[in-house]
């Protein structure tokens, strides 16, 4: 039984046409399907049908996030564990969305809707599985290889953190604590990245950013060039985090959802000790080079 990875996010985008163009031509995602109110997209080095769904909506924000399980039976196991934990669950039949199988849906204490799934159509990454080249032809924009992580916000950081640890066996790579020891933010992982999911104190049901992986620092620099050429609003960076040690740029899509491109960091394991950050050094923790955090970064959510 295992959650393999963050598999999908669905974002609400009121600025519809510009947002679709941006995710396809700036981030470099590949469109795999669409209906009247949704566009389905994948990063180039993902084999599953989609990892990002754009939803036509009146306001920006996160509709849901979803994790891919290792087996179909995991949905039954996690359903029992969630119910025993006191969490209400809902089963969504296969075919509810394009290319997706059955879904297990629930809500976390910070207010976000979370889904678990196993079955999804496989479309490949544009490369053969025998003797492939490093990348396929035809990539555009930043050409992010994969969806990497998500930072969600809400009041009950401890509750959401505990749920993912107790029910899904996530581990805590790092935490930011208040002077009284309570959680301001936590960085949780189930793979070998410092954060598949992070949780921060803020307004309930909101998202701070979705993060896309890119391969190295030169790709971060190239991403900044592409953002400048396309008049993308940069929030912070290029810079380095103290927390996770990652190299990063934060920026906004045309609808006001914050994105990140991210690389570097370290590889944690289940027995790695949790790193603690305190509020007096939070500037260096978030933006190691600058040593301070801008107001927009800590107050703007979608």
C-beta of residue 74 within 8 angstroms of C-beta of residue 118: yes
Pairing label, strands 206-213, 258-264:
parallel
184/50 Cα distance (integer angstroms): 32
Token code pair at residue 237: 């960076």
By 3-state DSSP, what share of the chain in percent is helix, strand and coil, each rounded to 5? 20, 40, 40
**Minimal CA–CA distance to 119: which of 78, 64, 72, 65?**
72
162/168 Cα distance (integer angstroms): 10
Alpha-helical runs (H) found in 200-251: 217-229
C-beta of residue 112 within 8 angstroms of C-beta of residue 156: no
44/41 Cα distance (integer angstroms): 9
Which residue's structure tokens are 């290319």?
A: 99
Sign of CA dihedral 238, 239, 240, 244: negative
Indicate which residues carry an active-site annotation: 149, 195, 209, 241, 250, 260
C-beta of residue 74 within 8 angstroms of C-beta of residue 32: no
């Amino acid at each position: 039984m295992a959650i393999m990875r963050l598999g999908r996010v669905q974002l609400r985008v009121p600025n519809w046409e510009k947002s679709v163009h941006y995710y396809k031509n700036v981030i470099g995602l590949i469109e795999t399907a669409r209906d009247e109110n949704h566009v389905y997209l994948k990063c180039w080095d993902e084999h599953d049908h989609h990892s990002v769904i754009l939803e036509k909506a009146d306001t920006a924000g996160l509709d849901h996030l979803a994790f891919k399980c290792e087996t179909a039976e995991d949905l039954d196991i996690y359903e029992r564990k969630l119910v025993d934990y006191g969490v209400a669950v809902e089963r969504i039949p296969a075919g509810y969305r394009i290319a997706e199988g059955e879904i297990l849906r629930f809500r976390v204490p910070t207010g976000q809707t979370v889904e678990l799934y196993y079955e999804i159509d496989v479309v490949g990454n544009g490369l053969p599985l025998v003797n492939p080249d490093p990348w396929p032809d035809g990539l555009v924009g930043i050409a992010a290889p994969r969806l990497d992580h998500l930072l969600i916000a809400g009041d009950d950081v401890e509750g959401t953190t505990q749920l993912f640890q107790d029910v899904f066996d996530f581990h805590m790579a790092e935490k930011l604590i208040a002077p009284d020891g309570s959680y301001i933010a936590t960085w949780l992982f189930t793979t070998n990245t410092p954060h598949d999911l992070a949780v921060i104190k803020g307004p309930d049901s909101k998202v701070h950013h979705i993060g896309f992986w890119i391969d190295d620092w030169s790709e971060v620099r190239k991403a900044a060039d592409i953002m400048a050429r396309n008049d993308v609003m940069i929030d912070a960076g290029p810079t380095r985090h103290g927390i996770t040690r990652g190299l990063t740029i934060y920026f906004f899509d045309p609808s006001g959802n914050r994105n990140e491109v991210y690389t570097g960091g370290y590889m944690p394991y289940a027995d790695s000790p949790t790193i603690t950050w305190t509020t007096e050094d939070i500037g260096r923790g978030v933006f190691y080079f600058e040593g301070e955090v801008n107001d927009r970064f800590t107050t703007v959510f979608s």
